[in-house]
Amino acid sequence: MSTIHSEVTATSTTTQSDVAESRKGTQKLEALQKEEKWAQQKWEDEKIFEVDAPAPGEPSPPKFMGTFPFPYMNGLLHLGHSFSLTKLDFACGYERLQGKRVLLPFGFHVTGMPIKACADKLKKEIDKKNEESVDPTKIVKKHGKAAAKKTNLTYQFQIMRSMGIPNEEIKLFADAKHWLYYFPPGTKEDLKDFGLSVDWRRSFFTTDVNPYFDSFVRWQFNTLHKRADPKVKYGERYTIYSPLDGQPCMDHDRASGEGVGVQEYTGIKLQVLMDELTGAEHVKDVPVGQALTTPEFQKALAGRNLYLVAGTLRPETMYGQTNCFAGVDIAYGIYAVNDKEAWVCTPRSARNMAFQKLFGEPGSMKKLGEVKGIDLVGVPLKAPLAKYERVYTLPMEGVLANKGTGVVTSVPCDSPDDYITLQDLKKKAAYYNVQPKWVEPFADSFPSIIRTPNYGDRAAETAVKKFKINSQKDKLQLSEAKAEVYKEGFYQGTVIIGNHAGKTVQEAKPLIRDELIAQGLAFPYCEPEGMVMSRSGDECVVTLAPQWYIDYGEEGWKKLATLCLADMETYSAETRHQFERTLDWLNQWACSRSFGLGTRLPWDPKYLIESLSDSTIYMAYYTVAHMLQGGVLDGSKQGSGNIGAEQMTDEVWNDVLLNGPVPETAIPKATLEKMRREFEYFYPLDVRVSGKDLVQNHLTFFIYNHTAIFPQSKWPKGVRVNGHLLLNGEKMSKSTGNFMTIKDALKVFGADATRFALADAGDGVEDANFVEKTADDAILKLYTEREWIEENLAAIKEGKLRTGAYTWNDRVFAAELDKMIADTDAAYYVVP
């Protein structure tokens, strides 16, 4: 799970070669790199980063355990990963200097759809045997450096080639499992070259390919599922879904739209008064509703009642409807719901409705016809709860085809947008091609529905005057007015009309919505909050389907998560607020899927556990991983404990991690005690370092799952997040070529200079900036320092340095060093 998510990493850029070419030579860099290699080999030979819990009877020094979200292995790591990693590595180095026993483990995430999607895409390309279209040598090259930086790669074959994979090996990646044995070992070598202080004995990759980690995840889910208050449940729920993949599309399965959730609307049914479409009134010389009265359409309609369906977030305001709005240039579809009703809405919203079974079988829909928005203008409607016998469809600028249903209810009492649009139409009826009678009776005499302390009974009109809004084109002021009116209306407003007059808006809203639905005047409708594209290139919808889900947001569990957060160090107020906001809205999360890579649900093995759900407490697995698999990533060899994967039953895991009953097992008692000692010593986790984009999912799941499974003494102690990393002041992007992998940086700058530039890049939650010149300058400074050290070592050997009494200058120098130590100490412990 990477801290800065991206599609399969294409690493071909010219930024790093440009820097190298600008140098006069690489002698200094090569000298530094040679010494880096020497030091790294010495660390490995002496196993200085391999640490174990103290044995019985040994002194027990203080410990420090820090982790980084294991990156997703569909490509090479980039500088954004290394930026977060250095925050952790620097902290671990500091804690070692404090005399603590420091554990920094590192794993590799391969669960989910991205690898499978890429492998399947490559397999299709190979099966087509269209060598011309996938041959990377056919890419036009002779357009200079600027063009060369562009990486608009169409085919998976090209992407693999851009990562430096030889042509003859690319075909192997059509097997998803081959990715597991290519990128994790290569990434491990890059991180060793980077100087990361990892205990590599504890490394692993995920999925059922690794039987040890597979047993751990199965234990985790059995523990959540078998509780007296189960945290994993089954039922129908709305979720983002890829029709092409045939399964939910969670954050890690997405090419775009990470973090986008489900937006729930109330679909309001406005019935078209077909008997009043007589042809007597016209829009642009065309009879009103002519497209709806043709013999062809009437035959397709087959006696069904026709409704315009509008998606609203404010069902409690339906008492104030004066009309509905349509986008004149939007193409609408007309869809059969059953043999009694047909609905008018956008094709996009109809596709969502189909997967919510509003048209019958999931995914099915019967299209009866099409109509342009202009053809709906002037069409008379019967609006639920409105005081008027009929209202009319009117044009509105800015109605979106990709949001809601493309049909918008109009409540000018409560909505500044609706109010100003209605006033515009009244003033310029001829310009907008509307009849005065469709507008004037409603523009000023609309009913009041909600009373607010500061905006009275006609909040929209008051806000329009306050914000000096003159027309629909005053978008900024309208946005501000809308936000303010909605906030006051929802939190302080009182309903003053209808069956629920006297209730607060918060009380009345769900009651009115339920009544509308019960009376057949409305229906629940959901869609993604924004565009979501799956890794397979499919635009996702919201579906209503039975599935396994984790019951995040359940009140009792939420209280535990909130308690955990209150005791955690977050290193910045902004991070804490982001967690608090996430805890406020996060709820049920689909945790199963049908395809991809992963661990199967133990009690329902036809499903796989999705990638953000098998990665919440694996930090506990690190504490014993070396005894189980000893750094062999797939667990194909036993670790120091000589334990078979089949021996790691739920009972054994309970004993090791939860101090449960002694299990019946062939594992020696001393081995179980050592495993338990490893966990008890290193847990709880002291700090988890990550990109800030993971607060809204992974890091909050991390909190929830720890509180559900472990006692409070083992809850995480800290989370430190950082912003994204810019490269030379611009967003890193493969498409523009402003992109650099860790491997690239090590070639161009070496490990130490890269680390200096990363340390200088930034230290807060705002976006940071890696400057290549800083890294280049660091090479010169490090080399100069190296020369100075060599000179002094030679002087010591030759006896040329001063000896004798401790002078005032010596004391000043020592005091300066002491101050630097104190300042460093404060910098690591002072929370911004």
Q: What is the per-residue pLDDT for 127?
A: 85
pLDDT for 11 equals 38
Q: What is the DSSP secondary structure assignment for residue 697, as one 8-state letter?
A: I
Per-residue pLDDT, averaged over 573-587, amounts to 94
- Residue at 303 is within a domain: yes
What is the C-alpha to C-alpha distance for residues 393 and 406, in angstroms, rounded to an integer? 12
Domain C-terminal end among 674, 694, 727 = 727
68 in helix, strand or coil? coil
According to DSSP, the residues that pair with 456 across neighbouring strands are 452
Residue 628 and residue 632: Cα distance in Å, rounded? 9
Task: Establish if 454 belongs to a structural domain.
Answer: no
Report the run of H or E that residue 326 belongs to, with start and end. Answer: strand 323-326
- ∠ CA 828-831-832, rounded to 5°: 115
| Pairing relationship of beta strands 450-451 and 687-691 according to DSSP bridges | unpaired
* pLDDT at site 575: 96
Identify any residues that bridge with 343 across adjacent strands, giving them in sequence order.
307, 335
User: 671: number of CA atoms within 13 Å, CB side?
Assistant: 19
Residue 819 lies in a domain: no
Residue 702 CA to residue 695 CA, distance in Å, equals 9
Query: Would you say the C-alpha torsion 264, 270, 271, 277 has a positive or negative sign?
Result: negative
The structural domain count of the chain equals 2
Any idea which residue has 């060369």 for tokens? 148
> Of 528, 543, 572, which one is at a domain's C-terminal end?
528
Q: Report the pLDDT averaged over residues 735-741.
A: 87
Q: Of the given ranges (6-20, 24-38, 343-357), which has the lowest mean pLDDT?
A: 6-20
3-state secondary structure of 129: coil
Query: What confidence category does residue 491 fall into, taking pLDDT thresholds of 50, 70 and 90?
Result: confident
Is there a contact between 266 and 513 (Cβ–Cβ < 8 Å)?
yes
- Evaluate whether 253 touches 344 at the Cβ level (below 8 Å): no
- Say whether pLDDT at 272 is over 70: yes
- Write the CB contacts of 497 (distance below 8 Å, at least 6 apart in sequence): 319, 320, 447, 448, 449
Q: pLDDT band for 34, please (50, 70, 90 cuts).
A: very high
Distances (CA, A) of 594 to 219, 378, 447, 559, 607: 20, 48, 51, 32, 5
709, 727, 745 — which closes off a domain? 727
At residue 449, what is the residue type? I
Eight-state DSSP code of residue 428: T
Does residue 221 share a domain with residue 271? no
Whether residue 250 is contained in a domain is answered as no
**Residue 63: strand pairing partners:** 101
Q: Are residues 78 and 216 in the same domain?
A: yes
User: What is the Cα–Cα distance from 662 to 655, expressed in whole angstroms?
Assistant: 6
Higher pLDDT, 216 or 122: 216
Contacts of 829 (CB under 8 A, 6+ apart): none
Cβ atoms of 601 and 594 within 8 Å: the answer is no
Cβ partners under 8 Å of residue 295, min gap 6: none
Instruction: Looking at the structure, tell me whether residues 656 and 513 fall in a common domain.
Output: no
Which of 539, 468, 15 minimizes the C-alpha distance to 244?
Answer: 539
- Residue 153 has a pLDDT of 66
Please calculate the CA angle 743-747-749 and round it to the nearest 5 degrees: 110
Average pLDDT over residues 238-245: 92
CATH number, residue 30: 3.40.50.620
Q: How far apart are CA 321 and CA 391, in angstroms?
A: 8
Average pLDDT over residues 798-811: 92
Same domain, 197 and 315: no
Burial of 17 by CB count in 10 Å (0-12 exposed, 13-18 middle, 19+ buried)? Answer: middle
Query: First vs last Cα of the chain: how many Å apart?
Result: 27
Closest C-alpha to 9, from 62, 95, 74: 74
- Lowest-pLDDT choice from 125-134, 167-176, 749-758: 125-134
At 3, the amino acid letter reads T
Q: Which domain holds residue 165?
A: 15-227+611-727
Q: Are residues 222 and 291 part of one domain?
A: no
pLDDT at position 20:
47
- The mean pLDDT value for 262-273 works out to 97
561 inside domain: no
The more confident residue out of 150 and 592 is 592
Give 667-694 pLDDT, tens digit per residue: 999 999 999 999 999 999 999 999 999 9
Higher-confidence residue: 536 or 823? 823
**Mean pLDDT of all residues in 282-311:** 95
Residue 152, pLDDT above cutoff 70:
no
How far apart CA 397 and CA 432 sit, in angstroms, is 10
223 and 267 together in one domain: no
Q: What CA–CA distance (Å, rounded) separates 355 from 341? A: 18
Residues 684 and 567 sit within 8 Å (Cβ to Cβ):
no
Q: What is the pLDDT of residue 143?
A: 35
Same domain flag for 146 and 281 = no
| In a domain? residue 627 | yes
Arithmetic mean of pLDDT, 623-650: 97
- The CATH number linked to 513 is 3.90.740.10
* Contact status, residue 770 vs residue 79, Cβ threshold 8 Å: yes
- Looking at the domain assignment, is residue 378 inside a domain? yes
Domain identity same for 312 and 372 = yes
**What is the Cα–Cα distance from 206 to 618, expressed in whole angstroms?**
10
Q: What is the mean pLDDT of residues 100-115?
A: 95
DSSP state of 395: E
> Quick one: 222 and 268 in the same domain?
no
Number of other CB atoms surrounding residue 613 within 10 Å = 29
Q: Are 417 and 348 in contact (CB under 8 A)?
A: no
When pLDDT is averaged across residues 415-420 and rounded to a whole number, the result is: 96
Which has the higher per-residue pLDDT, 79 or 154?
A: 79
Do 553 and 262 contact (CB within 8 A), yes or no? Answer: no
| pTM score, whole prediction | 0.79
Residue-level pLDDT at 806: 92
Helices (H), 568-709: 573-585, 618-628, 650-658, 669-682, 700-709
CA dihedral 667, 668, 674, 679 (to 10 degrees): 30
- Please report how many Cα atoms fall inside a 13 Å half-sphere around the Cα of residue 810, on the Cβ side: 6
pLDDT class of 145 with cuts at 50, 70, 90: very low
Residue 346 sits in the same domain as residue 442: yes
Predicted confidence at residue 142, as pLDDT, reads 33
Residue environment code for 319-341, b if the CB has 16+ CB neighbours within 10 A, otherwise e: bbbbbbbbbbebebbbbbbeeeb
Residue 420 in this model has a pLDDT that exceeds 50: yes
The string of DSSP letters for 520-540 reads TSEEEEEEESS--EETTSPBP
Tokens of 555: 């009140």
CA 204/CA 106 separation, integer angstroms:
8
In a domain, 185, yes or no: yes
Phi, psi of 371, deg, nearest 5: -155, 140
- Judged by DSSP in three states, 297 sits in helix
Q: Which of 423, 399, 402 is nearest to 412 (CA)?
A: 423
List, for residues 67-78, the tens digit of each pLDDT value: 999 999 999 999
Measure the CA–CA gap between 300 and 432, rounded to whole angstroms: 31
Query: Among residues of the chain, what percentage have pLDDT more than 90?
Result: 81
Question: Are residues 22 and 119 located together in one domain of the fold?
Answer: yes
| Strand order across the 768-770 sheet | 730-731, 725-727, 768-770
For all residues of the chain together, what is the average pLDDT?
Answer: 91
Does residue 137 sit in the same domain as residue 269?
no
